[in-house]
Amino acid sequence: MSGSSAALQPPADAVTPVRHPDAPAPGELLGSHYEQCFACGHDQPHGLRLEARAGEGVTLTAEFTVQPAHQGAPGLAHGGVLATALDETLGSLNWLLRTVAVTGRLETDFVRPVPVGTTLHLAAEVTAVAGRKIYSSVVGRIAGPDGPVAVRADALFIEVKVDHFVDNGREEEIQAALSDPDQVRRARAFEVNP
C-alpha cells in the first residue's frame, strides 16, 4: 500500500522473503492454526472460519463468508471483523516462512462496504524481512478474486519464541495446546496473534 506509515516501510537493509522448504505446497489448504481461534478455528460457532491456501513464493489466498453474527451496521460486516480477517490472513503467511510471529502493527483501509452473505477474497504476501521484522500486505475483494477492492492492509509482524505465548496465555489453553500429540498442530497453535 502506498499510504502506509513509516513504521510499515521496510528499512534499506531488508531482504526478500524466502519460502521455507517445508512450507505447504502451492494450492494446499493451510487449515486452522488453533481450533479455538475466532478467525480460523472450526470450534467457534460465530467465528470467521477463514480458510487460507498457500500460493507461490510467500503468498497465499484466503476466503470467508460474512455471516449475520459478523455485522456491525444492519446487513454489513463490522469493521473489526474485517480487520480480524485481514490480520488472520497476514498472520497465516508466517506459516510459509515457518516463523512464529505476532502482529506488531496493522494498518487497514476500508474501501467499500461488505454486505452480509458476501464472500471476501483475500490475497496476501510477505514483502520484506529485516531481522525479526516481517512486512506484509493483503487486499480483500468482493464479487470474486478479481472483483472490486473492499479492504486492504499493511502489517508488521515480529518474530517471537513460543515462550511469548506460554508466559502470557491462560494456563488451561496453553497446557491443552502443548499436550496435543500432533506436532504440527502443537506448533501452529502458537503462530499468529499476540
Give how far Cα 126 sits from Cα of 6, 16, 61, 131, Å. Answer: 17, 9, 12, 14
Model confidence at 193: pLDDT above 60: no
**Quick one: pLDDT at residue 1?**
45
Q: Cβ distance 23 to 81 under 8 Å?
A: no
43 vs 86: which has the higher pLDDT: 86
pLDDT at 38: 67
Q: In whole angstroms, give the CA distance from residue 48 to residue 42.
A: 9
- Mean pLDDT in the chain? 85
pLDDT band at residue 29 under the 50/70/90 scheme: very high
pTM above the 0.75 mark? yes
Residue range 72-81, pLDDT digits in tens: 999 999 999 9
Looking at residue 189, what is its pLDDT?
59
- Of the pLDDT bands very low, low, confident and very high (cuts 50, 70, 90), residue 164 is very low
